[in-house]
A and B are shown apart, each in its own frame.
Chain A
């Protein structure tokens, strides 16, 4: 808890537009406290990563931000797109928050498996469109125009995530990594100001991970969309994130730049399950990145164990794979 600070640790953030302003939220399920008094700020155009061991409350945080869960205490305000006035998120329905400019993907992929990849993206795009059932039934001109636009845009987005040749395949028939990218395309279809990615790299191979990192950077830099990222793959997080927030047991234990977090004793302790002092001693003995990376291997193994060839996901072998 030592590193918890109210004001962001990064100085350049001063004066920047705030996307999410989360103040002291607490989320309980019966007697279990999933999120305990967490505050954070997310700034426009940054890539903010949320990390932490399993059960730390990362996905609960996402669900609170998107209106799936409603925290019992605290406040969340959102200025979804550039220039929006901050509005509260608490008590709003998920689709309303989505319309305010927040798109997300899910940790366990939640596509519409019986729709084609193209249709999946179109579902997202078309929630911004107007044509009603009567216009659709009669095929009125504005509906036809919208239909053409949404198809065109869906193809553009599929091209962006590299799935254009899978456009007419059923989503359920796509490979795991493809499904993850399709989820991102569907989220982008809703024209968001901020996108929440929940473990986008889980279960993907090293090549896909590298592509994903490029994609995240592209979304952030080219499309100007702020990215909030939950990810266990430390290499990916460290390479793309501007800033990190670390959760453990529902509380924020650290916040800062990637290199700061790597050296933070509380974080190392959280990952090793030891006290902060012991961790500090160990941290001096070993390079930090590797330490955390080793730990991550164990953490992500659950997601990866479905793959027959587990070795290709070993961080130590991943460099060899990439160098090929």
Chain B
């Protein structure tokens, strides 16, 4: 091998002492060197996992932990696999571009993750609730249905996974359609097997269950089935997964939603828990018989026994029909039935849970308590089905006004864009935001409110400054502090109390916080107008620290120094007949936060598409050109600071009144930097991106709590951010306007060359 490269006619064969000799021998064989390097890689990986802290007496602990255990063989095996992959890459690559390969990987990964990391049960009976622990106990439980016990028998689940993956991979590599269909069927069967086995375990344990393991495994197997289907239905020999998915989804707008709604509805009506006071775990059927004869409201009783099923079947059939025929009347009917179904579901949930408490069922503790996931899933299913109807209507409207070219009667040729897909995703997220949190555990509800929700709101605000106007602000948390302290002052929780007429309940502090943060935003913005980039970042960083230090130093006894403010009342609304008091339940706060976020998103979405949004983009792109086009850059920049700051102020009001006490430690520099990281991670300048970034990066640490040692957590988060910046610098959901900057303009021709039928390329704007 090496001879080939050194055979070039170099006449310098003389006996000069430093002549470069052609490498020879085993040590210099590139394959050998690569092999050694790969083994070393495995060895280093082994060292990185597991016990790392040695003791003063025993420095070699980490080393022995890594080397002496049989685990080392796995890591050396990884090294060998890496070596093989590198060496035979050209041959492997050939297979990696075949249709279905990506979903296969996604599915394999999902199932593997669900069977190693995720919980399969919340019950304290099964220890940490992970698959291994659960399977060990389940296999020895004779009460369990045989099919479920079989799944949990040692090795069976993994063997099933391997069989499915091997069949799928064989089908994909050889391109045999028959085998592909077999693989698809097998994957679906195994996925359902896993799902229902876990269902049996849960009903045996008789405790509410919030675990996601079985669901993720099911989704993983469905992805593998989709991989096989993609392979069987392929038209070409190379992979175009996105194109394939798009074609399927573009076939009938709204169909994806209808499908999701039907799956969620089936799960909810069939297997999910509806009512779970202490020692019960009742599905819909059980709930109906449980409550019969206890004086449940007739409508709710009807819902439990037959109306629920009927409404679901009607909504599902209408949704599918409406999507298939793209009929606006059916779509209207779908939307109406879906909304009625969702409302009835919620009514039923309320009456069952309150009746349960009233009748003194063991463990029932009041309205909206003791509910399992079932009812909420049903409400979500109805909402999603109604959403399918809405998508059909909106696409029909777009076609009518000429924004969309008329969809053909069959699969739209090579459609790249799925009409209504954006709206469908938004609807799914809204449905999840409305109906998922009640089914989550207490812990996750708390995370959803005080981590995810608040930081999503902050990220939306910072996105205005950093993403849209392009002004790097590292002191953003200062406005959050100002909002919090404003609230504390107005409710009288600070040493200096406001005059009696100015004393306000926390929610009424929102307009004041907005105004004060607007002013603070302008105050920060004005002196920094001439600064750009790094310089601006440093000044804003200083501003954030100044606010925090002012709060600590307690000027004029206003901020109460490091002790901060406490006793901030919880929010409440008393308007005429409307009385809402927020107590200690995180769930209530979530819906308040959802309203705040929803309103902000609606307003800001408009703003982005307005002249101000374009002016922001203009100064971000080229300030001189913007000025020459008449943009008043001073005003536009100040508006960015002010609007971003006021959003942060609203978040501050919420934070102060939810948690009840604040002190300067809540507003450290680290938080400012985190918010910037969320926005960048999600996609600068993209509203959904900033929200997704904040949601993912606040969720991740909490998720990792269960998975990795506490001291390693930051490292894993850092690794995720690092990988993101390397492989997807534009963020999770990149902004349309930004994608071009980061991608260069190479991607554009694809947009342009997309065939547009004559006369349809340019309608009246968007």
Interface residues of A (CB under 8 A from B): 66, 68, 93-95, 98-99, 103-104, 106, 110-115, 118-119, 122-124, 126-129, 131-133, 136-139, 143, 146-147, 150-151, 155, 164-165, 167-170, 172-173, 186-187, 189-190
B621 pairs with A143, CB closer than 8 A = no
Q: List 26 A-B contacts (CB under 8 A).
A: A93-B627, A103-B628, A103-B629, A112-B622, A112-B626, A113-B740, A113-B741, A114-B617, A114-B738, A115-B614, A119-B617, A123-B611, A123-B614, A123-B618, A127-B629, A132-B612, A137-B603, A137-B610, A151-B765, A164-B762, A165-B761, A165-B762, A169-B748, A169-B752, A173-B751, A187-B628
- Expressed in whole angstroms, the minimum distance between the Cβ of B601 and any Cβ of chain A is 11
Nearest-neighbor residue (CB-CB) of A164 within chain B: B762
Known: A112-B622, A136-B610. A98 touches B740 (CB 8 A): no
Q: Which residues of A contact B764 (CB under 8 A)?
A: 151, 155
Question: At the interface, is chain B mostly helix, strand, loop or mixed?
Answer: helix
Is B643 interfacial (CB-CB < 8 Å)? yes
Nearest-neighbor residue (CB-CB) of A196 within chain B: B628
Separation of A98 and B603 alpha carbons in the complex (Å)? 30
Separation of A16 and B728 alpha carbons in the complex (Å)? 60
Nearest-neighbor residue (CB-CB) of B764 within chain A: A151
A136 pairs with B629, CB closer than 8 A = no
Question: Which parts of B616-641 form the interface with A (CB within 8 Å)?
Answer: 617-618, 621-622, 624-633, 639
Separation of A187 and B765 alpha carbons in the complex (Å)? 20
Given contacts A128-B630, A137-B604, 12 further A-B contacts (CB under 8 A): A94-B628, A98-B627, A106-B628, A111-B625, A113-B745, A115-B614, A124-B630, A127-B631, A169-B752, A170-B745, A173-B751, A190-B629
Q: Which residues of B contact A147 (CB under 8 A)?
A: 610-611
Is B397 interfacial (CB-CB < 8 Å)? no
B627 pairs with A95, CB closer than 8 A = yes
A123: contacting residue among B604, B626, B749, CB under 8 A: B626
Separation of A127 and B632 alpha carbons in the complex (Å)? 8
B765 pairs with A118, CB closer than 8 A = yes
- Expressed in whole angstroms, the minimum distance between the Cβ of B403 and any Cβ of chain A is 12
Nearest-neighbor residue (CB-CB) of A143 within chain B: B610
Q: Which residues of A contact B610 (CB under 8 A)?
A: 131, 133, 136-137, 143, 147
B741: contacting residue among A114, A150, A168, A189, CB under 8 A: A114
B617 pairs with A137, CB closer than 8 A = no
A136: contacting residue among B612, B627, B631, B765, CB under 8 A: B612
B748 pairs with A131, CB closer than 8 A = no
Q: Which residues of B contact A110 (CB under 8 A)?
A: 622, 624-625, 628
- Expressed in whole angstroms, the minimum distance between the Cβ of A139 and any Cβ of chain B is 6
Q: Which residues of A contact B629 (CB under 8 A)?
A: 95, 98, 103, 123-124, 127, 186-187, 189-190
A139 pairs with B626, CB closer than 8 A = no
Separation of A150 and B613 alpha carbons in the complex (Å)? 14
- Expressed in whole angstroms, the minimum distance between the Cβ of A184 and any Cβ of chain B is 12
Q: Which residues of B contact A146 (CB under 8 A)?
A: 611
Q: Which residues of A contact B85 (CB under 8 A)?
A: none
Q: Which residues of B contact A172 (CB under 8 A)?
A: 740, 745, 748
B630 pairs with A99, CB closer than 8 A = yes
A112 pairs with B611, CB closer than 8 A = no
A106 pairs with B762, CB closer than 8 A = no
Q: Which residues of A contact B643 (CB under 8 A)?
A: 133
Question: At the interface, is chain A mostly helix, strand, loop or mixed?
Answer: helix
Nearest-neighbor residue (CB-CB) of A100 within chain B: B630
Nearest-neighbor residue (CB-CB) of B629 within chain A: A124
Separation of A173 and B765 alpha carbons in the complex (Å)? 19
Is B233 interfacial (CB-CB < 8 Å)? no
- Expressed in whole angstroms, the minimum distance between the Cβ of A280 and any Cβ of chain B is 41
Is B606 interfacial (CB-CB < 8 Å)? yes
Nearest-neighbor residue (CB-CB) of A127 within chain B: B630
Q: Which residues of A contact B745 (CB under 8 A)?
A: 113, 170, 172-173
- Expressed in whole angstroms, the minimum distance between the Cβ of A118 and any Cβ of chain B is 7
Nearest-neighbor residue (CB-CB) of A152 within chain B: B764
B614 pairs with A173, CB closer than 8 A = no
Q: Which residues of A contact B613 (CB under 8 A)?
A: 136
Q: Which residues of B contact A190 (CB under 8 A)?
A: 629-630
Q: Which residues of B contact A118 (CB under 8 A)?
A: 765
Separation of A167 and B752 alpha carbons in the complex (Å)? 12
Q: Which residues of B contact A95 (CB under 8 A)?
A: 627-633
A66 pairs with B626, CB closer than 8 A = no
A136 pairs with B617, CB closer than 8 A = no
- Expressed in whole angstroms, the minimum distance between the Cβ of B460 and any Cβ of chain A is 13
Q: Which residues of A contact B738 (CB under 8 A)?
A: 114
B611 pairs with A115, CB closer than 8 A = no
A173 pairs with B752, CB closer than 8 A = yes
Separation of A49 and B633 alpha carbons in the complex (Å)? 30
B630 pairs with A115, CB closer than 8 A = no
Interface string of B574-610 (1 = CB under 8 A from A): 0000000000000000000000000000011011001
A126 pairs with B615, CB closer than 8 A = yes
Known: A114-B621, A136-B607. A123 touches B631 (CB 8 A): yes
Q: Which residues of A contact B752 (CB under 8 A)?
A: 169, 173
Separation of A6 and B622 alpha carbons in the complex (Å)? 38
B631 pairs with A112, CB closer than 8 A = no
Separation of A132 and B612 alpha carbons in the complex (Å)? 8
Known: A113-B741, A168-B762, A173-B748. A133 touches B612 (CB 8 A): yes
Separation of A115 and B749 alpha carbons in the complex (Å)? 16
- Expressed in whole angstroms, the minimum distance between the Cβ of A158 and any Cβ of chain B is 9
Q: Which residues of B contact A169 (CB under 8 A)?
A: 748, 751-752
Known: A114-B740, A172-B745. A98 touches B617 (CB 8 A): no
A113 pairs with B611, CB closer than 8 A = no
Separation of A170 and B639 alpha carbons in the complex (Å)? 26
Interface centre among A113, A115, A123 (most CB of B within 10 A): A123
Separation of A115 and B613 alpha carbons in the complex (Å)? 11
A136 pairs with B611, CB closer than 8 A = yes
Is B737 interfacial (CB-CB < 8 Å)? yes
Separation of A191 and B188 alpha carbons in the complex (Å)? 64
Q: Which residues of B contact A99 (CB under 8 A)?
A: 630
B624 pairs with A137, CB closer than 8 A = no
Interface centre among B603, B615, B633, B765 (most CB of A within 10 A): B765
Separation of A189 and B745 alpha carbons in the complex (Å)? 26
B606 pairs with A136, CB closer than 8 A = yes
Separation of A167 and B766 alpha carbons in the complex (Å)? 11
Q: Which residues of A contact B618 (CB under 8 A)?
A: 112, 115, 123
B630 pairs with A98, CB closer than 8 A = yes
Separation of A60 and B470 alpha carbons in the complex (Å)? 28
Closest 4 CB pairs of A and B: A127-B630, A136-B610, A126-B611, A173-B748
- Expressed in whole angstroms, the minimum distance between the Cβ of B73 and any Cβ of chain A is 52
- Expressed in whole angstroms, the minimum distance between the Cβ of B588 and any Cβ of chain A is 27
Known: A110-B625, A151-B765. A122 touches B603 (CB 8 A): no
A131 pairs with B737, CB closer than 8 A = no
Separation of A132 and B618 alpha carbons in the complex (Å)? 17
Q: Which residues of B contact A68 (CB under 8 A)?
A: 624, 627-628
- Expressed in whole angstroms, the minimum distance between the Cβ of B127 and any Cβ of chain A is 52
A119 pairs with B614, CB closer than 8 A = yes
Nearest-neighbor residue (CB-CB) of B615 within chain A: A123
Q: Which residues of B contact A129 (CB under 8 A)?
A: 611
- Expressed in whole angstroms, the minimum distance between the Cβ of A171 and any Cβ of chain B is 9
Interface centre among B603, B617, B629, B745 (most CB of A within 10 A): B629
Separation of A111 and B626 alpha carbons in the complex (Å)? 9
Interface string of B637-650 (1 = CB under 8 A from A): 00100010000000
B765 pairs with A112, CB closer than 8 A = no
Nearest-neighbor residue (CB-CB) of B630 within chain A: A127
Question: Which parts of B534-574 form the interface with A (CB within 8 Å)?
Answer: none
Separation of A150 and B611 alpha carbons in the complex (Å)? 9
Nearest-neighbor residue (CB-CB) of B642 within chain A: A133
Separation of A245 and B627 alpha carbons in the complex (Å)? 27
Separation of A126 and B616 alpha carbons in the complex (Å)? 12
Nearest-neighbor residue (CB-CB) of B737 within chain A: A114
- Expressed in whole angstroms, the minimum distance between the Cβ of B646 and any Cβ of chain A is 11
B607 pairs with A133, CB closer than 8 A = yes
Known: A98-B627, A98-B629, A118-B765. A112 touches B621 (CB 8 A): yes
